[in-house]
Structure 1
Amino acid sequence: MKLDIYEHFHPDEREFVDKAWEWIVHAGQFHESRLTDFLDPRQTVILESLANRHPDVQVRFDGGHAEAERCRALIAPDYRDLSSEDMKLKVLRIDSTDQKFLALEHGDYLGSILGLGIKRSKIGDIHVLEDGCHAVVCEEISAFLDMNLNQVHRIHVQSEILPIEQLRISKTSLEMLDITVASLRLDGIASDVYRLSRSKVLVPIRAGRCRVNWKTEEDPSVQLREGDVVSMQGFGRFKVLEAGDVTKKGRYRVRVGKFV
């Protein structure tokens, strides 16, 4: 079974695959339940696909709202009703009286939280708002964060723990780019989006620092499709919104939304 499972995933994902399969086996055979930390979208796909292999297991995902990117998972025997289970999610509200506070970005908040020694897996989506920030966090570390988070990017802040029902969601902001490329290859589109030469964009791809739909992608020739989300370490991420129209010269018109 293990070898069969491994065939479907990247070698870098094996550690998580092993862990997820153990959770599923324990739920299905030993009737144990497991509430995970926050999973990224790729880990969610892996866990869901493995759970589908076991007829006696079910999984509930929750990240605080319907469109959450990072979610906690509750893995349990299939006879349990998970709809009313407490997923132990809290909102860390952060604000400040300093006007410079309004210029803070997602990375500033995440960096300050991780700087307290918190693992990334304990933090869900971070919503930067016009008057502050709402971060979804695991309940078990919420009191620690409320007590110890005093600064974000050298700006003094105040915090408060709120129930998950009071979460305020930020809207995703995309910078629209219309490009024409010779093909829908990953390296060609990424080169235009990140404004790098083809040779320079190959370096992070082949080094395993590029992900397509949160899965590590080391093949620069892979074809992108509408809806694909591409992230490259150090350069940000983008989403392919439209692809396929061909110009008279045989080039592809592609509309991309770059996350800002």
Structure 2
Amino acid sequence: MAAAVSSFAPQISRVKSIAASLNRFHHHLKTLSCSSRGMCLVAHAAKSGGSGGGDASAKNIVEMARRASIRKEILHTDFLTPPVVNETLLTLGKLADIKAVSQGGYPQAERCRISVGHPEIMTTIPDVVAALSISGNFGFEPCSHGDFLGAILGTGIVREKLGDILVQGEKGAQVLVVPELVEFITSALDKVGNVSVTCTQIPLLALEYEPPKTKSFKTVEASLRVDALASAGFRISRTKLANLISNGDVRINWSPVSKNGATLKTGDIVSVSGKGRLKIGEIVTTRKGKFAVELIQYL
């Protein structure tokens, strides 16, 4: 038995040697991946929730805000979708010991980060958004919003680290990101679609965006219900609008509407899937008790 075991000794020794070499090689690769282009930093940043962490829900952000207020510090969310931004700001606005500021990089930004803290320390607005310019020869091969988004996510980061993407046709695109990923994205992003690109950081003041095109008109309605104003604004029947509401295709200020009788007010944004967006302008009560409402439609 001992002789049989000893006969396999050389093979066992070689297996151990190979295993040790593989372990060293794996460690070497891991070290390289951590040092090259900041991948370990990116992995950490992609998983963490900005400076505050947590899930991107209004409830969790409010909890984060309370923690920031008690500790007298400033915390930041990742980029949030419009519904979460709206709901969070409405909730935080009711709390006296918390100040919240949203930033998306430019006035019409949809995806924004929210900074929260005690009013005493929120004396200046923190700089939590950076801008990148992605340029290349897009004249012969135009790329869409999805192309740019897919290319950036393909570097290994998550969507919450990106804000709006401003597509500029032949010029490429401008992208809003969290500042801690600027260096990584500028070095890692080298192609969008089949187009080789150069990615550089630019000042927020260099962003090129156009105010949304709109047209306005007035309607006179017996009530300020969403089914009345939205049907007039989008020129569809109330029956069809009711069906859209039932299907979850209608939102007020980016939050889903569940009832036809939801009341609208000046400044509210109504969006209908496949139809676009509508803003409620000035509301004037007529002598007959009806409502003359300015409707502003985004084109």
Query: Is the 8 Å Cα contact of residues 280 and 295 (structure 2) preserved in structure 1?
Result: yes
Superposition deviation, residue 186 in structure 1: 1.6
- Between the aligned partners of 2:201 and 2:286, the Cα distance in structure 1 is 50
Q: TM-score, normalised by structure 1?
A: 0.69
Q: TM-score, normalised by structure 2?
A: 0.61
Change in CA separation of 1:169 and 1:197 when aligned onto 2, cut-off 3 Å: same
Query: Is the 8 Å Cα contact of residues 172 and 259 (structure 1) preserved in structure 2?
Result: no
Q: Secondary structure at the match of 1:256?
A: strand
Change in CA separation of 1:73 and 1:231 when aligned onto 2, cut-off 3 Å: same
Q: Greater share of helix residues, 1 or 2?
A: 2
Q: Which amino acid in structure 1 is aligned with residue 254 of structure 2?
A: W
What is the aligned partner in structure 2 of residue 170 from structure 1?
209
Q: Which amino acid in structure 1 is aligned with residue 250 of structure 2?
A: C
Change in CA separation of 1:223 and 1:53 when aligned onto 2, cut-off 3 Å: closer
What is the aligned partner in structure 2 of residue 17 from structure 1?
58
What is the aligned partner in structure 2 of residue 9 from structure 1?
none
- Between the aligned partners of 1:159 and 1:243, the Cα distance in structure 2 is 49
What is the aligned partner in structure 2 of residue 8 from structure 1?
none
Q: Secondary structure at the match of 1:38?
A: coil
Query: Is the 8 Å Cα contact of residues 189 and 199 (structure 2) preserved in structure 1?
Result: no
Query: In the alignment, which of 158, 164, 181 is matched to residue 125 of structure 1?
Result: 164
Q: Which amino acid in structure 2 is aligned with residue 50 of structure 1?
A: L
Superposition deviation, residue 81 in structure 1: 5.3
Q: What are the residue-to-residue correspondences of 1:238-257 with 2, within 5 Å?
A: 238-244=278-284, 254-257=293-296
Query: Is the 8 Å Cα contact of residues 24 and 54 (structure 1) preserved in structure 2?
Result: no
Query: In the alignment, which of 170, 177, 201 is matched to residue 241 of structure 2?
Result: 201
Q: Secondary structure at the match of 2:251?
A: strand
What is the aligned partner in structure 1 of residue 38 from structure 2?
none
Give a deviation string over 1:209-250, Cα, whole Å, max 9, x none: 3221233322222233332211123332122334547699x9
Q: What are the residue-to-residue correspondences of 1:126-141 with 2, within 5 Å?
A: 126-129=165-168, 131-141=171-181
Superposition deviation, residue 21 in structure 1: 2.5
What is the aligned partner in structure 2 of residue 63 from structure 1?
104
Superposition deviation, residue 23 in structure 1: 0.3
What is the aligned partner in structure 2 of residue 191 from structure 1?
231
What is the aligned partner in structure 1 of residue 297 from structure 2?
258
What is the aligned partner in structure 1 of residue 47 from structure 2?
none
- Between the aligned partners of 1:247 and 1:150, the Cα distance in structure 2 is 62
- Between the aligned partners of 2:189 and 2:126, the Cα distance in structure 1 is 29
Query: In the alignment, which of 78, 92, 103 is matched to residue 50 of structure 1?
Result: 92
Greater C-alpha Rg: 2
Q: Which amino acid in structure 1 is aligned with residue 60 of structure 2?
A: K
- Between the aligned partners of 2:209 and 2:166, the Cα distance in structure 1 is 5
Q: Which amino acid in structure 1 is aligned with residue 277 of structure 2?
A: R
Query: Is the 8 Å Cα contact of residues 94 and 133 (structure 1) preserved in structure 2?
Result: yes
Q: What are the residue-to-residue correspondences of 1:41-120 with 2, within 5 Å?
A: 41-48=82-89, 49-50=91-92, 52-53=94-95, 55=97, 57-66=98-107, 68-80=109-121, 83=124, 85-87=126-128, 89-99=129-139, 107-108=145-146, 112=150, 116=154, 119-120=158-159
2:285 counterpart of 1:222:
no
Give a deviation string over 1:29-85, Cα, whole Å, max 9, x none: 345542211234553444443365252x43343322455443322223445355274
Change in CA separation of 1:158 and 1:82 when aligned onto 2, cut-off 3 Å: farther
Unmatched 5+ stretches in structure 1: 1-13
Greater alpha carbon shift after TM alignment, 224-233 vs 73-82:
73-82
Superposition deviation, residue 18 in structure 1: 2.4
Query: Is the 8 Å Cα contact of residues 51 and 58 (structure 1) preserved in structure 2?
Result: yes
Give a deviation string over 1:119-177, Cα, whole Å, max 9, x none: 543332333447443221223444555434733xx673634231443432412232425
The total of aligned residue pairs comes to 240
Query: Is the 8 Å Cα contact of residues 124 and 136 (structure 1) preserved in structure 2?
Result: yes
Q: Which amino acid in structure 2 is aligned with residue 64 of structure 1?
A: G
- Between the aligned partners of 2:240 and 2:137, the Cα distance in structure 1 is 43
Change in CA separation of 1:259 and 1:135 when aligned onto 2, cut-off 3 Å: farther
Change in CA separation of 1:127 and 1:241 when aligned onto 2, cut-off 3 Å: farther
Query: In the alignment, which of 20, 31, 34 is matched to residue 75 of structure 2?
Result: 34
Q: Greater share of strand residues, 1 or 2?
A: 1
- Between the aligned partners of 1:186 and 1:148, the Cα distance in structure 2 is 44
RMSD: 3.9
What is the aligned partner in structure 2 of residue 237 from structure 1?
277
